[in-house]
Chain A
Amino acid sequence: MVRAPLPVTPSFAPLFADGGLVRGRTVACTGDAALSTALALVASATRLGSWLAVIGVPQLGVGAAIEAGVAIERIVLAQPPHASREWVATVAALVEGFDVLIVAPPAALSAHDARRLQTRVAARQSVLIVVHLPPPLALHTPLAPHAPLAPRAPQVFGADLDVHADTVAWSGIERGGSHITQRMVHVRVSGRRCASPREATIDLSCATNQRVS
């Protein structure tokens, strides 16, 4: 049985040919706004009852998730062991219960294990969002010995869709005055499950205030 795609926030909807996140697929989020974009993508789904697991991002700014419109009562954070096999076993167990998973994969993850996980995601009809956290946080590890952020961005997942989000403008902030009030992001959606790439410039700081009925 093919289930309907998970809806995305209206401002992102035109970027997705299928009208949303097709279940069973893997989406890779890259660019300097990868994490914020990933949160914005899943917000509508969580408000409509889907559970979201954020895996391997112990430093998640919950405030940002709330502003993106994620239903806070359905977020769960998991910090699995970093060894490839155990990491996949944990994430696979979570796939059983979660519609959406945002993962920052560990450096040790092997391509073989990543593929096994994707098979699981396809079978369970969840959506796996792989975020590649930007340097410098991703370049070096000695941030926190117990919870390193993905040291390199491992391209071990064969993503169905690539969502690349780069900030093009920060507004509000000056040399010494005010503060950031707006963030414009250029988003480009491409990949093997995407006939023709689509792109748009989206106000990420306000993607949030649009509600799904």
Chain B
Amino acid sequence: MRDEPTRVVVVQFPHWSSLAASLGHGARSAFEPIVRAVVAHVPLVEVTAPGIIMFATRGPSRYVGGDTPLAALVHTAVTDALRTVIGDAHQHAQTHASFGIGIADGRLAAAIAARHSMQTSAPVVVPPGAAHRWLADASVRALVECVDVIGAVGAGVPDTADVSSYRDVVSLLERLGLYRFGDVAALREADLIARFGAFGRDLSRLARGLDRHPPLTAPPPPDRVCTRQFDAPVESRDAVVATADELAVGLTDHLAAHGLVAVRVHVLIESDHGERSERMWYRADGLSTRAIVESVRWQLDAWIQHDAPTSGVMAVRLSPEQVIANTGRQATLWGGERDGDRHAQRAIRRVADVNGAESVTVPAWRGGRDPARAFEFVRSDAVDLERRVVAGGADTTTVGWRGAVPSPAPSLVFDTGELSNGAPEIAVLDANQRPLVVNARHAMSAEPARVLINDVAYDVVAWAGPWPVEERWWDQRRARRTVRLQLLVRDHGSLPVTRAMIAVLERSVWRLAAWYA
């Protein structure tokens, strides 16, 4: 089998979940009309997640007379479908509705092309054989944005202890001076493996424009198709899903016994009257049992809603179309995943589907002195929650940072960064009601006496500081000079309570940075 990337079309809506949320729909049900618009021209598309459609160009391109006409055709179809989805929704929805279409050899190149196409709002077609040149100029940061297309770092890769997300990978690459895929492709695979562990192989393949997983050389295991024929038509949607669940368990177990996992599964549902619904499902990380069942549910819902089959379901068939070696999730064998973990992840996914993935986040340690920035909140779909649990949060236990706010840590923190308006502005006054200032030698103009927060006055009982914080002083543009003050204040209520807070002075404005709630 030749190791060549498949030429694919990627249609991507980067902000799909936000768009769906602003329209008040679930991400999946809102995406269905778009999928159907594409399916009208290209029978078998791969749906990975709401917002992403991929398919191989080979058949369709030949049919419509080339990649460029194909791209134009899909673009028109998607634009029309999008118009009906959005309808006359308010302006807010329009801002999330941008999408891109890219055609290239290999999924990563096509996904990057789709990203570029968003800026010009015309499809970007990378000529055959030019993918590696196209990639050579692309920033490695694209890895973070293309996670849905190429799969998470840990997918199918054992022992990726030092890199757990594409953010880590990108930051490491940039620190090594490798800013473009061309720089990465110039390195030997062995060197990348030496630095990134087993993931280095995938990185090398991606940078060279190959598909992430090499074609399997071993013959696929026999009896790969799982079918269930019902004796009588089944009308209940849940019964069909339950059957699919059974089949999916059988299929994934069967593959797992051979050390494999399916990345593409073809699902066929047939009614008693011969109506069929078929769709290809793709997930770069490999489709777990859960993912297969969710796919079947999505497909079934769409079928019932849009095609209204005239009789009950007679048959369900799952056939894995592409399998890869499954070496990644072995950790779960020794007791990694438990029921509780699985339930939580299912709940997270459900909420992310409804409210948008950015509404559900997990904390990741980033370090730094600013309490609001020591942790960033990462979209839950961008991290492998299972891996985090298995790793025991090892990546987040580093708390002691020189110059950070000393323990005990405040329970509410506000981002005082320049671009955010997260931290509320406050006034810190001296005994004469004059604003407190701190000079270049970090000496205060007087002792702090009062604090005004939202026009409520508090008396200062005690304070610590001022602590100067100079961040990135070596970088003119991003340098920050701030002064931090820990304050103990008492309010004038009937029951005086002493509260603690941290105020930050930057460019002669005091802000509330933290609150000990």
Contact = CB atoms under 8 A, between A and B. Distances in A.
B contact residues, range: 35 or more
B515 A137 contact: yes
Contact of B388 (A73, A97, A135): A73
A77 to B, nearest CB: 5
A64 B412 CA distance: 8
Contacts of A167: 497-500, 516
B409 A61 contact: yes
Given A50-B340, A73-B396, A77-B360, A97 B464 contact: no
Given A73-B392, A93-B347, A144-B421, A64 B499 contact: no
B410 A135 contact: no
B361 interface: yes
Interface stretch (B178-186, B244-252, B348-356, B427-435): B348-356
B374 interface: yes
A178 B360 CA distance: 38
Q: Which of B341, B345, B411 has the most CB of A within 10 A?
A: B411
A66 B465 CA distance: 24
Contact of A97 (B348, B361, B365): B348
Contacts, number: 203
B95 interface: no
Nearest to A134: B517
A36 B413 CA distance: 13
Interface stretch (A17-25, A27-35, A153-161, A192-200): A27-35
A51 B360 CA distance: 14
A141 B275 CA distance: 55
B242 interface: no
Interface string B334-375: 000010110111111011001100011111010000011011
B157 interface: no
Interface in A136-173: 136-137, 139-140, 142-145, 166-167, 170, 172-173
Interface string A72-115: 11111111110000100110011111110000000000000000
B417 to A, nearest CB: 13
B289 to A, nearest CB: 17
B153 interface: no
B397 A93 contact: no
Contacts of B465: 179
Interface of B: 338, 340-341, 343-348, 350-351, 354-355, 359-363, 365, 371-372, 374-375, 377, 380, 388-389, 391-393, 396-397, 399, 405-414, 421-422, 424, 447, 453-454, 456, 462-465, 486, 488, 491, 497-500, 514-517
Interface of A: 32-36, 39, 49-51, 57-67, 71-81, 86, 89-90, 93-99, 133-137, 139-140, 142-145, 166-167, 170, 172-183, 204-205
The 3 lowest CB-CB distance pairs between A and B, nearest first, are A97-B347, A63-B409, A73-B393
